């Protein structure tokens, strides 16, 4: 059943909204504790807060797109088994894939022969979205993708869905059909019905990218909806590199209360070059494979880019939800 629509909240300024949302990198200035098996995290700017405020429970997720080339671990040059090994080591609460899960035509037999041999180990806790390569299947657009993931990718019979964890609402979208009024109407209703404090969304085609595909305007209407509803975070793939952007609005203007975008297309496919650095792009890494390890709390988020050699290639600032 579709959520009951309600009026969307206007982006009215207030004392909280005007406050800058980022701080120092987590690795450098956060307090961490393990209590009862739950990771508790206090950002640097609040580490000295009164004990009465209490710690805030957190959880970890992993994200990557553009994953399984037609190769297996028997080939030393095959990268997706190596990024899968990172996921196993991190052991996140769930996994988000940002499309192009299987190359080149995403047929069911290819999913079984390649993706399933590596990232398939986490299938039960994977929350995928399709990319353009999933539409190339000779059996029909998304046929292999739907057959492989089943209700995991189609929990409500559609290729887009949402789910909650802690104080977070996650929205998984199919950017192959952003011109579909039904998906857009569903997104409006889903955002209107959301009661969670923090919102993240993910899909394949990025609105902002410094890579070969560049900025894709197909995503701008979705960005506008997310921005109007005070979403915090967008994750994309498509360009085969890593990139993070400072908070910005749907028109690409810096905005301290805008949306943070992460481009994480380094899950295993051949890397792309950086071609034209976009405004608000803070960090770009290519020719390096890995996963984005996301650290979520009740009131914010941060992340690390972990490479297949085990090194941390990037550490983000910490951000607060609005």
Tokens linked to 255: 């905005």
**Predicted TM-score (pTM) of this structure:** 0.84
The 3-state DSSP class for residue 204 equals coil
Chain-centroid distance, C-alpha 165: 14
Count other C-beta atoms under 10 Å from residue 105's C-beta: 15
Sequence-distant (≥ 6) Cβ neighbours of residue 99 within 8 angstroms: 65, 66, 128, 129, 130, 131, 132, 133, 134, 175, 203, 204, 205, 237, 238
pLDDT at 21: 57
Q: What is the pLDDT of residues 230-268, one digit of tens each?
A: 999 999 999 999 999 999 999 999 999 999 999 999 999
What are phi and psi for residue 48, nearest 5 degrees? -100, 15
Q: What is the pLDDT of residues 267-290, one digit of tens each?
A: 999 999 999 999 999 999 999 999
111 pLDDT higher than 90: yes
Average pLDDT, the chain: 87
Q: What is the pLDDT of residues 52-90, one digit of tens each?
A: 343 455 999 999 999 999 999 999 999 999 999 999 999
Per the model's pLDDT, the better-predicted residue between 6 and 293 turns out to be 293
pLDDT at 52: 37
Q: What is the pLDDT of residues 21-61, one digit of tens each?
A: 555 343 333 333 333 333 333 333 333 333 334 345 599 99
172 pLDDT higher than 60: yes
Sequence-distant (≥ 6) Cβ neighbours of residue 172 within 8 angstroms: 96, 127, 128, 129, 160, 161, 162, 163, 201, 202, 203
pLDDT at 315: 98
The 3-state DSSP class for residue 177 equals helix
CA distance 44 to 41: 9
pLDDT at 256: 95
CA distance 290 to 306: 5
* Residue found by looking up tokens 């192009």 in the block: 100
CA distance 319 to 198: 11
pLDDT at 226: 98
pLDDT at 205: 98
On the 0-12 / 13-18 / 19+ scale of CB atoms within 10 A, 288 is middle
């Amino acid at each position: 059943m579709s959520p009951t629509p309600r009026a969307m909240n206007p982006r009215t300024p207030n004392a909280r909204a005007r406050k800058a949302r980022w701080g120092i990198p987590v690795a450098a200035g956060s307090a961490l504790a393990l209590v009862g098996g739950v990771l508790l995290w206090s950002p640097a700017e609040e580490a000295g807060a009164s004990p009465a405020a209490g710690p805030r429970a957190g959880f970890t997720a992993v994200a990557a797109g553009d994953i399984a080339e037609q190769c297996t671990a028997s080939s030393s040059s095959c990268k997706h088994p190596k990024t899968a090994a990172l996921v196993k080591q991190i052991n996140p609460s769930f996994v988000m894939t940002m499309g192009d899960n299987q190359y080149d035509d995403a047929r069911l037999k290819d999913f079984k022969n390649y993706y399933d041999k590596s990232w398939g180990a986490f299938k039960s806790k994977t929350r995928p979205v399709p990319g353009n390569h999933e539409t190339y299947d000779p059996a029909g657009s998304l046929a292999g993708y739907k057959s492989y993931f089943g209700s995991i990718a189609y929990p409500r019979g559609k290729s887009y869905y949402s789910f909650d964890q802690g104080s977070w609402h996650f929205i998984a979208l199919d950017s192959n059909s952003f011109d579909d009024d039904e998906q857009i109407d569903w997104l409006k209703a889903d955002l209107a019905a959301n009661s969670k404090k923090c919102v993240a969304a993910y899909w394949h085609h990025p609105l902002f990218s410094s890579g070969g595909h560049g900025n894709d305007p197909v995503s701008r209407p979705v960005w506008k909806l997310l921005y109007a509803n005070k979403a915090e975070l967008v994750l994309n793939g498509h360009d085969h590199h890593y990139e993070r952007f400072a908070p910005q609005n749907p028109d690409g203007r810096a905005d301290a209360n805008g949306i943070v975008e992460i481009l994480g297309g380094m899950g295993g496919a051949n890397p792309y070059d950086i071609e034209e650095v976009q405004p608000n792009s803070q960090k770009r890494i290519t020719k390096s494979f890995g996963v984005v390890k996301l650290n979520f709390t009740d009131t914010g988020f941060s992340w690390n880019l972990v490479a297949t050699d085990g090194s941390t290639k990037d550490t983000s600032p910490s951000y607060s939800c609005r």
